[in-house]
Structure 1
Amino acid sequence: MSQLLPLRTGWRLTAATGSDVPAPIATATVPATVPGCVHTDLLAAGLIPDPYLDANETALAWIGRADWHYETAFTWHDTGASDVDLVCAGLDTVATVTVNDVEVGRTANMHREYRFPVRHLLREGENTLAVRFDSAYAYAERLRDWLGDRPNAYPEPFNFIRKNACNFGWDWGPTLVTAGIWRDIALHEWSLARLERVRPQTHRDDEGWRVRVEADLPAPAPAGLEVRVAVAGASALLAVPEGATTITADLAVPGAQTWWPRGHGAQPLHDLTVTLHKGDTELDAWSRRIGFRTVGLDTEPDEHGTPYTVLVNDRPILVRGANWIPDDVFVARITRDRLADRFRQATEAGINFLRVWGGGIYESHNFYDLADELGVLIGQDFLFACAAYPEEEPLAAEVTAEARDNVARLASHPSLVVWTGNNENLWGHQDWDWIEALGDRTWGAGYYFEVLPAVVAELDPTRPYWPGSPYAGTRDIHPNDPAHGTTHIWDVWNTDDYTRYLDYRPRFAAEFGYQAPPAHATLRRSISDPELAPDSPGMAHHQKAIGGDAKLKRGLDAHFRPPRDFDDWHWLTQLNQARALALGITHFRSLWPLCTGTIMWQLNDCWPVTSWAAVDGDGRRKPLWYALRDAHAERLLTFQRRGDDVVLFGLNDTGEDLVGEVAVTRRDFDGRVLAKHDAPLHAAARGGAALELPADLTRPDDARAELLLAEFAGQRAWWFFDRDKDLDHPAATFGVTAAEVPGGYTVRVTAGSLLRDLTLFPDRVHPACEADTALVTLLPGESHTFTVTGPAGLDPADFGAAPVLRCAND
């Protein structure tokens, strides 16, 4: 029987001789956590400040330029196994590995597993294991000089090394170039034969569910091996042909239950086990939970262009998605519990799809396990982003090995529904002045159109592959043509007001977003500016987007009167972000089935920063999160502009028809009804209905002081006829009753006037406080109760006034 012997303990970290590091660190030996990285080890030892605070990131740039040495001692006893391998699940990145002072291998790819035979080097009793990490900068710059520079989005050499690109800085991320043993490292003892890769693929025939299991062996099989496959009450025993390197079993599984995305059915998972035997001896075993479903993409051209429709079990799925980046720059800190918090926030916001973006990492099994359990669909980018990538050696071989490793590693997860070749590189080549800069140099096309689809076709043929995001479905059409395939919409943030979303009719909106700062408590934890201002030193350092603050100001100027102070600025930028994404998502949803999905940028952050995220770097929900929850509701009532008309939509992403009567009123800001219309609503399952409204509703007498309100089955939809700065909003008046209750507080607000987008920011009272609702609009006389979770003993009166309690017209 094979066994893994983890090597997690006893590690020590030192700066390699000759590295340019501060004097106290040059002579220091510190305990190292494995998995971990240099930054977190130095931080734990008290030798560096927290890189996420103020501008410490800049002062720590030397870490990525230095070389580092990890070493541990371990005890080994000979059990008689014929083979012992050192298995390195993740080395970041340019490493030389030695056992008992003998080099066993070198690595240059953070994104793949390495295995080195070491039995011949091990000795009974104590042994030493060392890993030297050379500077990722030095390696990447050396390759750049050798192969010739290639264009990219940032002045960093991330496209010359197989490492998470965002380590080198992004328009939402710090430049903190890591090194270390970031995934498990262990000894693997085995004899005669082992299972190298196991790839299950579920499919249906006329009889029901089947699973095809392919298992690879590292060497030709000796005589007399057998493989047993078992799942959901079905099993098969196969003799392994002598000399075989791949074993295939295809068995019917009548006991299998169908796995569905959330909102479409249940997510049953079944234990699949594969065991390798020689006679009565079990040589190796592999086990994972799998789900039985089929996946595909409908990209058959139609009269509108080229669709991009995700199919699960042959059912078209309305994608209500978000883009995902690594949840921490120091990725070894991303635990299952932390991922579970993000998945909870995603699902509570109505998200059914996460796109793992191509500048980060292939996530851990914990990530995909959670997606499997919760029915969250995953689109997985291969790790290429915003740059031209060389196709020469040594990178070409690394890319192929990385792709084969991760496609096989993730094949068991039913949540994974599509592989995508890259992020924005096809678009960049077309529009970002790359062609002239490149000349005849390679830029990645061979990866996206040849290498990667070939790997997927061989190792994971039941999942679709898409060459890039965005991509039009053919190289003959502009890659970011909204009428074809997947589209990224960034003119809204970069140059245009967010009402520009209404001009788009995309087939699938795979990236679009709008910035806002993080929660106030997050700012105050990470920035020590005596007075916060949009351009104060700490705020400026935690704004990574070029021209970001000017773009925020442009957005505010278009919609609001000038903010009086920082608190106004903070509130209005967060409100503008929420309004922008709500408008875009609901507009695109109203186009179903022309537009089959949205993947907003982005769900999460990796550190405290002004960004496009709905959940900030400390895990706090911005107002945008609440807007996503509303816009992603399975049953949604929404007003939309169609030409010069205002149309009411009932959108229904459930399996049952939505039937009833909608009450629509035009009112003044005092709440008086000026016109009323009741209309029947019948929105078919997985569909929607548009209700054209009479002119006496949609043509206001005074656009500056009137609104539309639609009410149906406890839902409300609001429509204001102009932008806030041009409306005659009444001064906000209200009464507040707050009380402590078990687990937190209740804050009841009774409107004396119209209160638009009423929002509570309880983190301003205590960093641990969180409200259940936000962006609530009330007519005069109406009330709403916020439920706040948080520590006991706070003064409830602190929740009742600005800047804790805000509305758009306060």
Structure 2
Amino acid sequence: MSDRPAAVCQSLNPEHWTVRAVDPGPDAPDQVRNAVFRSSLPGCVHLDLIRAGVIEHPNHRFAERNMRWVGRTGWILAAEFAADERVFAHERTELVLREVDGIADVRLNGRRLGRTASSFLTHRFDLTNQLTKRRNRLELHFEPTLTYIHRQLDLLGARPYNGDEQGWDPFPCLRAPACMFGWDWHPRVPTSGLVEAAIESWSCARLRAVRPRTDQQPDGSWICHIDIELEYTRPCPLHIAAVLRDSERDIALESTDLHPDAHTAQLQLRAHNVKPWFPRGCGEQKLYDLHLWIRCQDGTTLDDWIGRIGFRTVRLDQTGGAHTFVINECPIFCKGSNWVPTRVFRAEASPETVRRQVEQAARAHMNMLRVWGGGRYEQDEFYHACDELGIMVWQDFMLACAMYPEQGELPGLITREAHEQISRLCAHPSVVLWCGGNENVWARQAWGWSERLGEQSWGEQYITHTFAHACAQLDPTRPYRINSPSSGPGAGSIHADANSAEQGDRHTWDRQFDGYRELITRFTSELGHQAPPVWRTLADAIGPEQMRVGSEAMEFRQRATAGNAPIFTRAMESVFGREPQDFDEWLYAAHVLQARALALAGEWHRLHWPRCAGLLTWQLNDCWAGPTWSIIDADGRLKPAYYALRRAFAPQLCALHPIDGVLRLALVNDTPDAFEGTITLRRMDFQGRPLAEQALPIAVEPRSSIIAADAIDLVGEPDDESSELLIAEGFGLRSVWFWRPDKDLAYPKPICRGKVQPADGGYHLHLHAQTLIRELMIDASRLAPDAESDDQLLTMLPGERRTVLVRTDASLNEHDLLRPPVLRCAGA
């Protein structure tokens, strides 16, 4: 064996970092002039200034208004460090920077190494023979982000983009998360910073990329193909090997010798008797350990790659306009949501936060998350969590709602980005689709942008060639869609109706509430309704004095161009017949409207399986406390709509809906087992008196939906639509139907008695309905920040009992748990 040292990686994140402003403008505070502030990694300038007390966090009240100057200022981020002695024993030494937000010249000991130009690339700079054995100084000289992108706009030419007519900044001119320049749920906070800096030293060769992909053989065995890219310091013969194993055994081992200057290689491992990976609800999420390494002739290990893979096939059935995901030849109805960055600044998004929100999606019976193209490629923990929990990932490339230039350095950056992100993510079995971005094709077709664009380029080359070619070459096992929404496969679909209900996926923003029933889409990849954050989250963000309808803060936090009136006021008047009397009533009404909208949409899409093959609501999560479409708010609290959608996404579903003008009973079975038995329909009045009842024998096959019966044929027309309801229940399932909107219903005065009992991890609320209780909201966070109930928006018939667990580490006043503002229901 050789005494050649192993490759060295020295993290620079723990070093002493500083940041200072360069030529701050007249709107910058005096505190930043000639001042040096402490910094840290992961980090960004905004977080450094917040820690220094120069600015407040943008989530605090109106702080966003006072930080526009940050994006107009240049910054120097610097660290001094002593190089690890082991780095000098290697033939090559590199500086590696990951997830750099902003344009920066990179300098070591006063010498320019190069430039960063994309948040979505790993930047590597050759430091060979440039480090000293004493102190070294690394500097990143960030250009003012806003100055840069407006200069690029002048160079590349103006093109339409989301918000351009509202004064938003031209985000398509920089490879960075589009949302950080402002979105209808995100503040305008373009920043400069990075996640990771390291010194990597190596000799002979290193692994540049490792791309495992799996392929099932006719005999049932699997082959794991591993494509490998290598980089050399000099030609040298190599031995490359890989082993596949699980916790009990080695499954396959393969190795080969490489030519001294072979820059690519492939290994094939044949695996017998392995279990396939399935999405949750369809089977096991079995993962296997894969370890690959390269050695030189003397046996020294030069580099290795360790990851986990799953064996599964995936295809997108687009026959006849369909948009159906088929995993291991099993067609799947996709229940899920759109994923956006979990925090305003990347450095605030801990792996624990990311995993917790994926777990929340799983607990809501979701099996798919779409990583939306206006954010960023997520951190590793997101994909690991999705692998383990069986959450399929629809992965957008980072283009969104804009016409993108195809000039300057952008084409080269986007090509490199596609190569790096495909290579990085293709090992994850959860990733089932690559998509060329969000609403680019649709915007050009339907938003009047084609006329404004003229003959200028708009990103067509990226979505029809760059991404498509990279996927075909690097990851042929997964389907690629040119955009979302899109009407079909291939580059030719850019000329077809992008947002058709008859083919491909659709973004349904032209319907609300009952309007959802006007369409039976093939797949809806965006649909949603706004609601404010949970009370505690909103109060922490805007302050108690702003917690009122129409307050300055409530208007400031509303970023949808339509404003609060059409989203909330008109809907509340239409459903409830009046504007709420106080803010607590307004919050309740807003949450109920969102919950009803999403529950209706979830049920409607599912009962039309297999024509309709999925619903991804907009949006799962949030990063800023304002009225948005999320069901998990910016502090990670579950909005009431989360619970409603969880019920609508349950593996088995019973639902009452008007179909073709007739109120019908529908059942959905997402499980691999058939179920049969009896569903009972009861028509009753609001006092609980039965008016008609009929038992219906039903049988539902695995992974199917049925329209079981005409409800009116079974229990008759209501005698008084204002004071009757219809219940369908069986198998532990229930659906409740009201014939009229709330404003026309003669609700009795709600009376619900209760008892509180301490329990492990919190309190049990034993509830006993004395009258009809519709959509009982339980907001225990009003009493303690960590308090959360395990169910919400409960509808109970007179005499029914329910027990709800409120989880908290706090000691609560038991009487407060049983009265407003913790409890509230319809008609109160």
TM-score by structure 1 length? 0.97
Give the aligned partner of residue 773 of structure 2. Answer: 755
| CA displacement, residues 592-637 of structure 1 (integer Å, 9 cap, x when unaligned) | 0000000000100012111000000011111100011100000111
Is residue 691 from structure 1 mapped to residue 691 from structure 2 by the alignment?
Answer: no
Q: Is the 8 A contact 2:780 2:789 kept in 1?
A: yes
Structure 2: distance between partners of 1:202 and 1:631? 34
Q: Which residue of the other structure, out of 116, 119, 123, is the alignment partner of 1:107?
A: 116
Deviating above 3 A after TM superposition, structure 1's stretches of 4 or more consecutive aligned residues are 739-742
User: Equivalent of 1:572, from 579, 589, 602?
Assistant: 589
Answer whether contact 2:156 2:408 (CA < 8 A) is retained: no
Counterpart amino acid of residue 787 in structure 2: C
Could you tell me which of 159, 162, 167 is aligned with 1:153? 162
Secondary structure of the corresponding residue to residue 187 of structure 2: coil
Where does 1:53-452 land on structure 2 (aligned, <5 Å)? 53-76=60-83, 77=85, 78-154=87-163, 155-181=168-194, 183-207=195-219, 208-219=221-232, 222-232=235-245, 233=250, 234-279=252-297, 280-301=299-320, 306-452=321-467
Q: How many residues get paired?
A: 801
Q: Do residues 538 (structure 1) and 590 (structure 2) align?
A: no
Range that drifts further, 131-140 or 106-115: 131-140
Contact 2:546 2:552 in 1 (8 A): no
CA displacement 1:687-718 (0-9 Å, x = unmatched)? 12221135252521111111111111222111
| Structure 2: distance between partners of 1:535 and 1:553 | 10
CA contact (8 A) 2:608 2:705 kept: no
1:42 aligns with 2:49: yes
Aligned twin of 2:30: 23
* Partners of 2:306 and 2:189 in 1: CA distance: 36
Q: Does 1:12 align with 2:17?
A: yes
SS at match of 1:573: helix
Q: Cα gap change, 1:491/1:698 in structure 2, threshold over 3 Å: closer, same or farther?
A: farther
Amino acid corresponding to residue 616 of structure 1 in structure 2: D
What's 1:463 paired with? 478
Q: Which whole-Å CA distance do the structure 2 matches of 1:376 and 1:455 have between them?
A: 24
User: How far does residue 732 in structure 1 lie from its aligned partner after superposition?
Assistant: 1.1
SS of equivalent to 1:195: strand
RMSD: 1.4
Does the CA contact (< 8 Å) of 1:221 and 1:240 recur in 2?
no
Report if aligned partners of 1:705, 1:727 keep a CA contact under 8 Å in 2.
yes
Range moving further from structure 2, 470-479 or 142-151? 470-479
Identity %, equivalent residues: 37
Greater CA deviation, 72-81 or 754-763? 72-81
Classify the secondary structure of the residue corresponding to 1:257: coil
- CA-to-aligned-CA distance 1:647-671 (integer Å, 9 cap, x gap): 1111100000011111111111111
CA contact (8 A) 1:529 1:538 kept: no
- Give the alignment of 1:374-773 within 5 angstroms: 374-473=389-488, 474-492=493-511, 497-550=512-565, 551-562=567-578, 563-693=580-710, 694-695=712-713, 697-773=715-791
**2:479, 2:825 → 1: CA distance?**
46
Q: CA deviation at 1:722?
A: 1.2
Instruction: Measure how far apart 1:12 and its partner are.
Output: 2.9
Native 8 Å contact 2:342 2:622 kept in 1: yes
Larger mean CA deviation between 382-391 and 248-257 belongs to 248-257
For residue 241 of structure 1, report the CA deviation from its aligned partner.
2.2
Q: Which runs of 5+ in 2 are unaligned?
A: 1-5
Deviation sequence 1:525-548 (CA, Å, 0-9, x none)? 011252522210111121111123
Q: Residues of 2 paired with 1:423 and 1:524: CA distance?
A: 33
2:3 matched residue in structure 1: none
Return the offset for 1:568: 0.7
Q: Verify the 8 A CA contact 1:681 1:689 in the aligned structure 2.
A: no
Letter in 2 for 1:758: L
Q: Structure 1 residues 668 and 201 mapped into 2: Cα distance closer, same or farther (>3 Å)?
A: same
Give the superposition deviation at 1:335: 1.2
Query: 1:626 aligns to what SS in structure 2?
Result: helix
- Specify the code of the residue in structure 1 equivalent to 2:43: G
2:335 partner SS: strand
> Could you list the per-position Cα deviations for residues 247-274 of structure 1 after superposition, in whole angstroms to 9, with x for gaps in the alignment?
0111201253211111111111111111
2: distance between equivalents of 1:614 and 1:634? 20
Alpha-carbon distance in structure 2 between the residues aligned to 1:698 and 1:487: 37
The alignment partner of 1:369 has SS state of helix
Tell me the SS of whatever aligns to 1:341: helix
Aligned equivalents of 2:200 and 2:273: distance in 1? Answer: 34
Report the secondary structure of 1:127's partner residue: strand
Distance of 2:10 and 2:160 partners within structure 1: 44
CA distance in 1, matches of 2:417, 2:467: 10
Per the normalisation by structure 2, the TM-score is 0.95
Q: In structure 1, how many angstroms separate the alpha carbons of the residues matched to 2:546 and 2:41?
A: 39
**In structure 1, distance between residues paired with 2:405 and 2:16:** 36
CA displacement at 1:792 relative to structure 2: 3.6
Aligned equivalents of 1:29 and 1:804: distance in 2? 47
SS in 1 for 2:821: coil
What is the distance in 2 between the residues matched to 1:589 and 1:809? 30
Shift of 1:294: 1.1
Q: In the TM superposition, what is the alpha-carbon distance from 1:31 to its structure 2 partner? A: 1.7
Partner amino acid, structure 2, of 1:553: T
Among candidates 797, 806, 815, match of residue 779 of structure 1: 797
Instruction: Determine if contact 2:598/2:645 at 8 Å carries over to the other structure.
Output: yes
Residue identity matched to 1:552: F
Moved more, 560-569 or 503-512: 560-569
Q: Does 255-264 or 191-200 show the bigger shift?
A: 255-264
**What is the rounded CA distance, in whole Å, between the counterparts of 1:369 and 1:567 in structure 2?**
40
Shift of 1:333: 1.4
Per-residue deviation, residues 126-173 of structure 1 (Å, max 9, x unmatched): 211111111221111111001110101113210111000000110011
Shift in Å at residue 19 of structure 1? 2.3
**Runs of 5+ unmatched residues, structure 1:** none
C-alpha separation in 1, matches of 2:663 and 2:679: 15
Q: Secondary structure at the match of 1:502?
A: helix
Q: CA deviation at 1:223?
A: 4.0
Shift of 1:125: 2.6
Query: C-alpha displacement at 1:296, in angstroms?
Result: 1.1
